[in-house]
Amino acid sequence: MAYTVSKLTDFSATALDSAVRDLLSALDQEAEGVLASKVAEPEHDAGWKKRWDEWKVFRDRWIARKNGITTQINELWLKAAPKETKREVGQQVNRLKGEIEGKVKATEERLQHQQWNAEKAVIESTPGRSFATYDEALKATQGVDITLPGIRRPIGAEHPVIKTMNEIIGVFRNLGYSVEEGPEVETDYYNFEALNFPPNHPARDTQDTLFIAGQDAKPPRDRLLLRTHTSPVQIRTMQKMRPPVRVVCPGKVHRNDAPDATHSPIFHQVEGLAVDTNITFCDLKGTLDHAMKALFGSNVKTRFYPSFFPFTEPSADVQISCIFCDGKGVRDGTPCRNCKASGWIELLGCGMVDPNVYGFVDYDPAKVSGFAFGMGVERIAILKYGVDDIQLFFSGDVRFLEQFG
């Protein structure tokens, strides 16, 4: 006679133990009954389908959510238990649920092995078929079920630098900018000359460029180097597009810098370019003020002060009010270290595109104007996440990276 859960009237330890023993005994018997069922013709799928149907009935009878035995013992034992015994009954019920689920899973695995062993025996009995290992036989017996989900590689969290770069790109995408990318190995022409760096210009020395070896036989403008900024992508974009142009150019750049807490020979930039008719410095200020507020909060203030870049005129450096001391220069009664007590943090460079640059891309400076800007992704990530050493981003230390998961 099939086991049924009886409603307890006696909740003493002795009565409860007896009920548990009866339940576990019935569970073992039904599990063995599923495993003892025989297949007349193991080479036929129909026989094994019947076996698996029996296992599913067994599974649903014990762990189905609506009327499974695990649900019944919760209703008939735990909920019916007096207040003074509810804790002990609850412990027994939870233990039983674990044992029932474990038995159902173990029965499934044993049934799988029975099927695999039977199929292996049939295949090995075929003339000319033998297998050196069990795994080899298993592969031969199992077909490919295209209805099953594929095996996917687990995906981790975004690296903080990539996450920050995507946040920056997202801000400008929302303003209508598209994304352009270019090669990391560039020519001198795109990296310097087309950006208004004449030969022997002092600004070239500040870039600490890494040149590719074996380029001496080429003309200077054709020599290869690792790009020192993503500005060459702006030139390539203007060569293939006519105004209006609004793009951001993210990517990896390289400079011959000695690594320390604030410098790395490899880092990332996001540069932007907008070219159209009647674009003014006010448009530049409004765009960057909005971007800084989107990245650091609506309370952040921006200020612009004169600077120099060969490819923009006029040029400016952009500062934001210190996000650590709210622009006061003092934090916890002491001078703020992050802004050096000034209340401002320098963040990026920008300016109106120098008319000389338009000559390299066949734009008419009398008809169009534009602005450009560029920011270091690691610098922004350091501010957003409170990191004090840029080298941590590239060390590959899982303990550090797990903090951003």
| Cα separation, 307 vs 352, whole angstroms | 12
pLDDT at 321: 94
Higher-pLDDT residue of 63 and 122 is: 63
pLDDT at 93: 86
- pLDDT tens digit string along 331-358? 888 999 888 899 999 999 999 999 999 9
* 338-343 own/partner pairs: CB under 8 Å, 24+ apart: 338/383
Q: How confident is the model at residue 130 (pLDDT cuts 50, 70, 90)?
A: low
Residue 371 has pLDDT above 60, yes or no: yes
Q: How confident is the model at residue 288 (pLDDT cuts 50, 70, 90)?
A: very high
pLDDT at 66: 81
pLDDT at 16: 86
pLDDT at 12: 87
Higher-pLDDT residue of 113 and 47 is: 113
- The mean pLDDT value for 21-34 works out to 88
160-404 has CATH 3.30.390.50 classification: no
392, 395, 397, 400: CA torsion to nearest 10: 10
Q: Quote the pTM value.
A: 0.61
Q: How confident is the model at residue 4 (pLDDT cuts 50, 70, 90)?
A: confident
pLDDT at 36: 82
pLDDT at 216: 86
Helix H segments across 174-310? Answer: 188-191, 202-205, 231-240, 281-296
Residue 387 has pLDDT above 80, yes or no: yes
- pLDDT tens digit string along 211-245? 899 888 898 889 999 999 999 999 999 999 999 99
Residue 303 has pLDDT above 70, yes or no: yes
Q: How confident is the model at residue 256 (pLDDT cuts 50, 70, 90)?
A: confident
Burial class (CB in 10 A: 0-12, 13-18, 19+), 27: buried
Q: Are 302 and 288 in contact (CB under 8 A)?
A: yes
Q: How confident is the model at residue 44 (pLDDT cuts 50, 70, 90)?
A: low
Higher-pLDDT residue of 54 and 269 is: 269
Across the chain, mean pLDDT equals 86
Higher-pLDDT residue of 39 and 205 is: 205
CA separation, residue 191 to residues 135, 216, 223 (Å): 57, 17, 10
Q: Are 257 and 263 in contact (CB under 8 A)?
A: yes
pLDDT at 48: 75
Q: How many CB atoms lie within 10 A of CB 96?
A: 20
* 337-342 own/partner pairs: CB under 8 Å, 24+ apart: 338/383
Identify the weakest region by mean pLDDT among 283-292, 314-323, 391-400: 391-400
Higher-pLDDT residue of 41 and 399 is: 399
- The mean pLDDT value for 145-163 works out to 76
- pLDDT tens digit string along 95-128? 888 899 999 999 888 888 888 777 767 666 655 5
| Cα separation, 335 vs 330, whole angstroms | 4
Max CA pair span of the chain: 98
> Which of 234, 270, 250, 191 is closest to 363 using CA atoms?
234
* Residue 346 CA, distance from chain mean position: 29
pLDDT at 317: 95
pLDDT at 118: 76
Higher-pLDDT residue of 115 and 163 is: 163
> Which of 270, 254, 242 is closest to 181 using CA atoms?
270
| Cα separation, 29 vs 118, whole angstroms | 23
Our CA angle for 6, 11, 12, nearest 5°, is 130
pLDDT at 8: 82
